[in-house]
Structures are given as structure tokens and as C-alpha cells.
Amino acid sequence: MNNLYLKSFIRCKRKAWLDYRGNKSYEIWSPHQSIEIVNRYKNFHKLCEGDLYTGKKACQKGTSGVIGLKVKSKLIKNINAEIHPQLLKKVSGKSKWGKYKYIPVVYKLGYRTTKEHLFDLAFCSILLEPFQESKIEKGIVLSNYSNHINIEKIDLNHRLRKKVSNLYLDLNEYLKGSIPEITKERKKCMICSWQKFCDAEAKSNGYLTEIDGIGSKTALLLQQNGISNIKELAAAKKNVLGDKLFQFKEEKFEKASKFINQSKSYLSGKPIKLYEKENLFNLLSKKDSGFFIFDIESNPDEKHDFLYGFLKINNLFENIEDDFYDPILNLNKNGKKSQQEIFQKLTSKEEWPVLHYGETEKIVILNLARQINLDSKQIEILKSRFVDLHLMIRRSWILPIKNYSLKTVAGWMGFKWKQKNVSGSKALYWWIQYKITSNDIFLKKIIMYNRDDCLATLHIAKWLIKNNKKIN
């Protein structure tokens, strides 16, 4: 048993169990995890100024950083324990190797330092101290925002060590038992390698958290009120349910109606039309004028949008030719050339609307417009050209799906991406690979993915228009 299971256990008890005892053929590759590993080594390399080697020999030699070390020992109650520290950093002190010692370092993707980081450091220090014959007072959480390395020193005190030892005992007990339940906080599942496996079980059991908008708190509230699965939710009465959903205040009846309809649609597999006309009218009135479809790929950690993809559509139902799509690459952050190209593109058809999915695209373009000093009137005109299909679909339809992401919605409408199992995280992974290798194959994959995202957005626009006609 090692610190990696402990890390999983902190995130989700079931994940630790599956990592240890699950059938690996159900596990899927997680781009998020791969991005973390790639970034981790890049930053460890920087922190140690390249003096980074593996294993015990590196410790004996006293290199600045040590990776790939495994240390085994017995913990309280004679339980076997093993650590695979992400990085050991040399600091001044005294150890069995000489006038230096090592302290553990963990890499953090994102802004928050969590229990996962603190416990990992504390657990590693417990086994590392006897191994190097030296005390460890501090550990490091390393992060990198906008190419700037941040070092956060963590006090590895007695309280933290005690907590992590107790948690390790808990982990050992859990792993002996049967598979734990799916976590109530399903947001965690988004980046988990067992997501598909758990989704299938949640679906077959009709868990309330399968319904869009129902998180762990709402699910608990519903359960306390006698509604424990999707079937029961679908059969609920709007007024009775609304009274129970007091946390949503004046929106409680609207929420009740939404949850009931979403459950009905989920169970029947049939979409439900909502009578919200304003937005759809906006799209319908613009469909014959020609328009752009716009989609961005970005690296949120570095606040870098590396690709702006434009699809040019003269008529909604014409065949799409290759030259309709224009990928504007922004290889270096804040590249002026890409900014110019974007605004040339937008002003080439000033009256054309810009269709997009989700709010990011509009926010990014308006920020760029401010950077190039467009005046407030020009910005207002630009703003009015954006048509958010995500907002539109949510306001006008309830679909028999778990969430309203581009992949889920367009996938349900029958759109197929050319590359298998793609996602924004995978595109980011390719981007990181491109930055390391300069191999154009990764750029090609990103471009193909972005083009498909634009086509998926177009597919949704067509579906909205076609089905609006059918029903009205």
C-alpha cells in the first residue's frame, strides 16, 4: 500500500478501492492526469535547475532533486507502507549521506492547496525520516502560474502526521471491504479515470445526481424528503416538490419543474420543448444572413488561448468545404498577429453573427477588443453579434442527457468527432506535447479537434432550427 492510494482515498474512497482492486480494463486514460505529470516534471526540472536524477544513488550523490524513489517501511500497528515521493529536494542539514538532507515536494495543478497535497507531504515525511536518518520539518507545494514558479512551504507538524496516519489505517480497512458507493460529489468524477465505469452504475441505479443541476446537497435534501431515485423524482408533483426545495427561495417551483421534466426526459429518452421563443427567434432571424462559428482552445493555467477556430457559413444548410474553416494559431501568448487576424476576420463580414457554445468565446473576444482600444459603441455592436447556443439550448429544450456540455449535447444529436475520446483536456495535453516536442502532428490533432467542435456547434444550430419548425 502506498501514498498514491492514499491520495486517491482522500479524493474518493471508491477510487482508492478501484485503483487497488478494480478491473483495470474499465479504467480510461485521463488527459488531466497526464497533463499533471508532464507539467510536474517540467517544473521539477526548473526547480532543481536540471540537477534531477532517479533513485537511491541520486540521494547518495546528493543531487539537487530526486525522483522515482521508493521507500518501504512498517507503520503503526505493523502495517506495511510504501512511498513514491513526487520529488525530494535537497536542503541543508545532516543525513546519513552527509551534510544535506531531502524534503518532499508535491506539484499542484490549479490554485488550491488541498488535503491531498498536505497529507501526501506528511505521509512521505513519516517514512523518509528513518530512511535518511534526519528530521523533516517542512515540505513544499510547487505550482506554476503564467510561467512563474510558486513555492509554498508547509509545516509538517505532529497534528498533520497523526491525521494522515489515522487516515492510512482507515484506507487499509476500506480496501479489505466491498466496493464503496459512488461519491455524492460527482464533480470529482469529471477528471477520474473510472468515470465511465461509475457513470454506468449510477445510470442503472437511477441516482439523483445523474440529473442536470442536482448536486450532492440537493440530492440529500430530496432523499430526506422521500425521493431517492430518478423514477421517484419524475413522478413528483411540482407544487409539493417546490415546497421542499426551499433552498432555491423564489426559484423553488421553477427548479422543481425543471428537475421533474429533466427526470422524465432522462427516463423516456425523449426531449421536451420549452416555450422560450425570444432566443430561438434571434437565431432564426439570422440563419440566412451567413455567420461565423467560433471556438477557442486554451491553457487555463497559463491563461493562454492557443487556437481561435472560425468556421465561415454562408448558408446554414450548405455543404461544408475545407476552406470554410480557418484556424488562427496563437503560438506565443499575447501574439499581436493573431489578434489582428481575428479582427480582420470579424470585420470582413460586419453584419454576420458569431455562433459559439458557452460564454468563454464571447468574453475572450470582448477582452481582446478592449486591448486594441475599440470604443464602447464598437464593443456594444460586437457584443450583439454573439449568439450563445449553450444558453439557447438550455432555455428552449430539456434533453435526455446528463449534462449540457458541447460533447454531450452534439453527441446526443448524432454528431461524431473524427478523433475518438477527445475533449478540451486532451487538446490541452496535445498542446503541451507540442510545446515540448515542436512536433506539428500535435498541432494537426488540435486543429482537427477544434474544427470538429465548430462543426458540432453548427450541428446544434441546425438541430435547433429543424426541431423548432417541427414543433411549431
Q: Is 174 in the site for ligand SF4 (CB under 6 A)?
A: no
Q: Is 194 in the site for ligand SF4 (CB under 6 A)?
A: yes
- By the 8 A CB rule, do 455 and 415 touch? yes
- CA atoms within 13 Å, Cβ hemisphere of 150: 15
CB of 6 to ligand SF4, least distance (A): 15
Strand 291-299, strand 52-54: pairing: unpaired
CB of 27 to ligand SF4, least distance (A): 10
* Residue whose cell numbers read 516534471: 41
Q: Which is nearer to ligand SF4, 159 or 188 (CB)?
A: 188
DSSP character at residue 321: P
Select the span of 147-155, 180-188, 205-213, 294-302 touching ligand SF4 (CB under 6 A). Answer: 180-188
Q: Is 52 in the site for ligand SF4 (CB under 6 A)?
A: no
Select the span of 52-60, 188-196, 268-276, 441-449 touching ligand SF4 (CB under 6 A). Answer: 188-196
Q: Is 198 in the site for ligand SF4 (CB under 6 A)?
A: yes
* Residue whose cell numbers read 521508493: 70
Helix (H) or strand (E) holding 119: helix 115-132
CB of 180 to ligand SF4, least distance (A): 8
Residues 288-307: x/- map of binding to ligand SF4 (CB under 6 A)?
A: --------------------
Q: Which is nearer to ligand SF4, 191 or 320 (CB)?
A: 191
Beta strands in 42-185 (DSSP E): 52-54, 65-67, 71-75, 79-83, 87-95, 98-107, 138-145, 148-155
Q: Is 189 in the site for ligand SF4 (CB under 6 A)?
A: yes
- By the 8 A CB rule, do 101 and 91 touch? yes
Separation between Cα atoms, residue 397 and residue 272, nearest integer Å: 6
Q: Which is nearer to ligand SF4, 220 or 436 (CB)?
A: 220
Separation between Cα atoms, residue 61 and residue 270, nearest integer Å: 66
Pick one of 182, 219, 307, 346: the residue that binds ligand SF4 (CB under 6 A).
182
Distance of CA 335 to the CA centre of its chain: 26
Q: Which is nearer to ligand SF4, 14 or 304 (CB)?
A: 14
Cell of 434: 507540442
Pick one of 10, 12, 105, 256: the residue that binds ligand SF4 (CB under 6 A).
12
Q: Is 14 in the site for ligand SF4 (CB under 6 A)?
A: yes
- By the 8 A CB rule, do 175 and 17 touch? yes
Q: Is 216 in the site for ligand SF4 (CB under 6 A)?
A: no
Cell of 410: 452534439
DSSP structure string for 55-73: HHHHHHHT-SEEES--EEE
Q: Which is nearer to ligand SF4, 69 or 189 (CB)?
A: 189
Q: Is 188 in the site for ligand SF4 (CB under 6 A)?
A: yes
Pick one of 63, 134, 143, 183: the residue that binds ligand SF4 (CB under 6 A).
183
Pick one of 192, 233, 458, 461: the residue that binds ligand SF4 (CB under 6 A).
192
Q: Is 386 in the site for ligand SF4 (CB under 6 A)?
A: no
Cell of 354: 458569431
Q: Is 451 in the site for ligand SF4 (CB under 6 A)?
A: no
Q: Which residues contact 330 (CB under 8 A, 6 or more apart)?
A: 304, 305, 306, 307, 308, 338
Pick one of 7, 9, 15, 126: the residue that binds ligand SF4 (CB under 6 A).
15
Q: Hey, how many other C-beta atoms are within 10 angstroms of the C-beta on 56?
A: 14
Q: Is 195 in the site for ligand SF4 (CB under 6 A)?
A: yes
Instruction: Enumerate binding residues for ligand SF4 (CB under 6 A).
Output: 12, 14-15, 18, 182-183, 188-189, 192, 194-195, 198
